[in-house]
Amino acid sequence: MQTENHTLYYIYDPMCSWCYAFEQSLSELQKQLPPLLNFKAILGGLAPDTDEPMPIDTQQMVQQAWQRIEQSVPGLRFNFDFWTKNTPIRATYPACRALLAAQQQAPERVERLRQKIQHAYYQEAKNPSLDDTLINCAEQTGLNIETFSQALNSTGIKLKLTEHIHFSRSLSVSSYPSLRLVLDEKIYNIAINYTQSTPLLNQINQLLDVHTHRSIESPCIRQCCLNNDDICLGCFRALTEITQWAYYSETEKQTVLKHALQRKTLYNKNLI
């Protein structure tokens, strides 16, 4: 995986309680995201596969995180029965693989499955470290269970999760949830806000504004005339280069200008 310009990356884990706390702000952010930006979710993979019960001190640490979230995010509550009804296991890779299996089968159902997994964990006191829980969530989401079950622990899905994890590390992500904005090949950390989307949008729009004002200006000279090859004889850009100009990185714009200059030089030589 490689970073893409004009993209907001959301790096998370479905069994991360702070990611669950961020759901409302994230939903509002996605609805108001500037049209120029793409949005992509990346699975960070919080804890690898294990059959070992979660140590008592880790259980206490997670429960304390739930309590802090309830105190800081209005209206958000956890079902603490999870800790008495289950043998907690510190493994989030299965839930991550479940989302990748859903992505492979029906991309439009991934968000719904994530919500089902989180609800099962935090509200129904079920354990998403177990395949049975994940398969049940997938069934509620409307996925083909046979296809889903075969993909869940397949080599291909495991490799895909490894790819996501490595990519998240390349973005210098060490905690979840995290947001990274890529503009003109530069990576920016967007500070998380668990109760409001407005501060997030303000950060993003400010960075977009800075990049817009310092970007390479269009070479258009208002003498637009396309030849038979769809090359403008005013700026000597190809038609596709003209229509895509606003979406190019600075490096890509420089390449377009270089090609345009070569076309202009060749055109002037042919006139002599």
Which helix (H) or strand (E) segment is 141 a member of? helix 131-141
- What does DSSP assign to residue 231? B
Nearest to 90 by CA among 13, 170, 11: 13
Residue-level pLDDT at 199: 94
Domain segments of the chain as ranges: 7-205, 217-272
187 phi-psi bin (left φ>0, alpha ψ -120 to 50, beta other): beta
> Could you tell me which CATH number the domain at 7-205 has?
3.40.30.10
Average pLDDT, the chain: 92
Please, which pLDDT band fits residue 250 given cuts at 50, 70 and 90?
confident
Query: Are residues 83 and 59 in contact, defined by beta-carbon separation less than 8 angstroms?
Result: yes
Residue-level pLDDT at 17: 95
DSSP 41-52: EEE---S----S
Residue-level pLDDT at 174: 86
Distance CA 181, CA 195 (A): 20
Alpha-carbon torsion (93, 94, 97, 103), positive or negative: negative
Residue-level pLDDT at 41: 96
What does the pLDDT look like over 100-151, one tens digit per residue? 999 999 999 999 999 999 999 999 999 999 999 999 999 999 999 999 999 9
Question: Structure tokens of 12?
Answer: 């998370």
What are 232's strand-pairing partners? 226
